[in-house]
Amino acid sequence: MTNLILLGPPGCGKGTQSKILVEKKNFLQISTGELLRNVVNSDSDIGKEISKIMKNGDLVSDEIVVTMILKEISTHPACSFIFDGFPRNIIQAEKLDEAFNQQKLKLDLVIFLDVELNILKNRIEKRIRESNSEQVREDDNVDILLKRINTYKEMTFPLLEYYRKQEKLVCVNGMETIDKISEKIALLI
Ligand code: AMP
């Protein structure tokens, strides 16, 4: 079994590449963004709180996302995982390391999808243009994207050094075509 993290700024293609790996290589994708959107759609009090945080481009509390992740890992014991959007800060990365150690699992690879930050704005604008109004994510607008990029630079970017030290980090140019990127990822795993 192979366990991967896909790391990169918002809009870098983590979700797209995860879905390709699910289809072609039988991975189980764990996307904290999708798990959180499910809670938001459940219309509960906690969902309303999470919705405000997401609409604002901030990070949801470590306690909530780490609890979600631990539940996903323990309910799918024999799977190869792709973590998409998790971890997003050092505390979350340490919690994942702890959980993996306790459950005798191994994190094999962290793939960083490298996309220049000014290209992300064009991608989000395209994503909005191409979605119908029901599909547009509440946090898909340029102002929130800029906020999310700042959150990324401050909180998530330091993870590159964290995983470089663990000798697990590989960089892939995320500005090539979807097919090219997925070919490169396939060669890594
Ligand atoms: P994503 O779908 O990965 O782009 O995430 C959408 C939003 O969900 C983010 O902007 C955060 O508000 C929240 N979120 C997703 N993953 C995490 C995480 N690991 N930690 C905290 N907040 C998260």
Cα of 109 vs centre of ligand 1, distance in Å, is 21
Kindly report, residue by residue over 105-144, the tens digit of the pLDDT.
999 999 999 999 889 888 877 777 777 666 666 666 778 8
pTM of the model: 0.90
- Residue closest via CA to ligand 1's atom 10 equals 57
Nearest ligand 1 atom, CA 148: 10
Nearest ligand 1 atom, CA 56: 12
Neighbours of 152 (CB within 10 A): 21
What mean pLDDT comes out for the span 16-20? 95
Q: Round to whole Å and give the CA distance between 97 and 20.
A: 25
User: In terms of DSSP bridges, do strands 169-173 and 81-84 run parallel, antiparallel, or are they unpaired?
Assistant: unpaired
Q: Show the tokens assigned to 58.
A: 């901030």
Cα of 145 vs centre of ligand 1, distance in Å, is 12
Distances (CA, A) of 110 to 26, 95, 137: 18, 16, 26
Tokens 């970017």 belong to: 157
Name residues contacting ligand 1 (CB within 6 A): 10, 32-33, 36, 53-54, 57-60, 65, 85-86, 88, 92, 139, 148
> Are residues 14 and 6 in contact, defined by beta-carbon separation less than 8 angstroms?
yes
pLDDT at 142 (0 to 100): 78
CA nearest neighbour of 109 among 16, 11, 17: 17
Neighbours of 105 (CB within 10 A): 15
Kindly report, residue by residue over 83-105, the tens digit of the pLDDT.
999 999 999 999 999 999 998 89
Kindly report, residue by residue over 168-184, the tens digit of the pLDDT.
999 999 999 999 999 99
Nearest ligand 1 atom, CA 11: 4
What mean pLDDT comes out for the span 5-17? 94
> Which of 88, 144, 153, 159 best tests ligand 1's pocket when mutated (most atoms within 8 Å of CB)?
88
